[in-house]
Amino acid sequence: MAANDFRALLHVMVAETSGTPLTAGELRERMGVSGAAITYLVERMIASGHFRRESDPSDRRKVMLRVADDGMSVARGFFTPLAEHSRQALSSLPDDDLAAAHRTFAAIIDAMRAFRTQLDDS
């Protein structure tokens, strides 16, 4: 899978997991590519079985991108071994260090979300 395809898969998967699936236009904005490029990418991802389209239940005119079974297989193939490596790397750290890291990353994520909201509002 090409880097942009994997990036798109991650964007769609994260959005879907958070309960806010993306449209192709929203994916285009997040990836910073042209409309033609996102159309080509989405069509390719659908044809390969990584994405599927689904009508938005609240607005049938809106089409959401969802991760299909093959897309989930690709993600599992990447993240399952990564999770094992991470587990092994963190297993010797004391709980206090992990708690401090968690607070730090949570604060950074909150700051990034606030900045993203500010960008979207401007």
Residues facing residue 22 across a β-bridge? 65
Rounded to the nearest integer, the mean pLDDT of the chain is 94
Longest dimension (CA), the chain: 52
What is the model's pLDDT at position 122?
A: 86
CA dist 76 → 27, 40, 70, 71, 89 (Å): 21, 24, 10, 9, 19
pLDDT tens string 68-83: 999 999 999 999 999 9
What is the model's pLDDT at position 20?
A: 92
What is the model's pLDDT at position 66?
A: 96
Amino acid in position 103: R
What is the model's pLDDT at position 74?
A: 92
Q: Give the whole-angstrom CA distance, residue 113 versus residue 119.
A: 10
Confidence of residue 85 (pLDDT cuts 50, 70, 90): very high
